[in-house]
Amino acid sequence: MSREDSIAPGPAGRWAEGWFDAARRVPSPNQGPRPEGSEVCLALIHSISLPPGEYGGDAIERLFTNRLDWAAHPYYERIRGLEVSAHFVIRRSGELLQFVSCDRRAWHAGVSSWRGRENCNDYSVGIELEGLEGEAFDSSQYHRLVRLLRALHERYPLAGVAGHEHVAPGRKQDPGAGFDWPRLMARLGWPGAWFPPSGSRAEG
């Protein structure tokens, strides 16, 4: 166990209208109101890197704010015109960025279902980890993720954590086999029923 894993982080930061002051705010236009009566009860974990496998640039921020130069890399032609967002991005360094108020609906899950309930965007918070599906994530990212999830749980009726692969099986594979679910579960200490079944890659 690393020193970082031995830390028992609690929530850090305060909320204002769904914005978390421990995050660097980068407002995205790709968002909208949640359906009336919808409560945030699911944290949905993704992975992203632009271009795939390259880290540290500003392409993710540009994509989520509709400022990506589609001609800047051959891969971008495959996603030209895409309008997406997530509530949060956790960089490899552990830096936390927020693009959409958690009181509002970000565009991250697409066609999705969690435990029989469709349209995960309506009731989830989307958290992107800078990384490539199937590859390992950095310790600083787990540390930041635990702190963020604890803070979300303090603010919202959060009662579930899943990966994009679990709510869109066959269509999405992130965060992938490189994400350490047992590590996250152990550090949070939340009920096992809040997480995908051990070893499962497809829950709908």
23 contacts 13 by C-beta, under 8 angstroms:
yes
pLDDT digits (tens, 9 = 90+) for 117-139: 999 999 999 999 999 998 999 99
pLDDT for the residue 3? 40
Question: Is residue 202 assigned to a domain?
Answer: no
Domain total in the chain: 1
Question: Is residue 88 assigned to a domain?
Answer: yes
Give the closest residue to 87 by CA, choosing from 59, 106, 61. 106
Question: Is residue 106 assigned to a domain?
Answer: yes
Global pTM reads: 0.92
pLDDT for the residue 12? 56
d(C-alpha 73, C-alpha 52), whole Å: 11
Question: Is residue 177 assigned to a domain?
Answer: yes
Residues serving a catalytic function are: 128
Question: Is residue 203 assigned to a domain?
Answer: no
Question: Is residue 199 assigned to a domain?
Answer: no
User: 178: domain CATH number?
Assistant: 3.40.80.10
pLDDT for the residue 13? 73
pLDDT for the residue 1? 38
29 contacts 50 by C-beta, under 8 angstroms:
no
Question: Is residue 28 assigned to a domain?
Answer: yes
Range of the domain at 169: 3-192
d(C-alpha 165, C-alpha 43), whole Å: 13
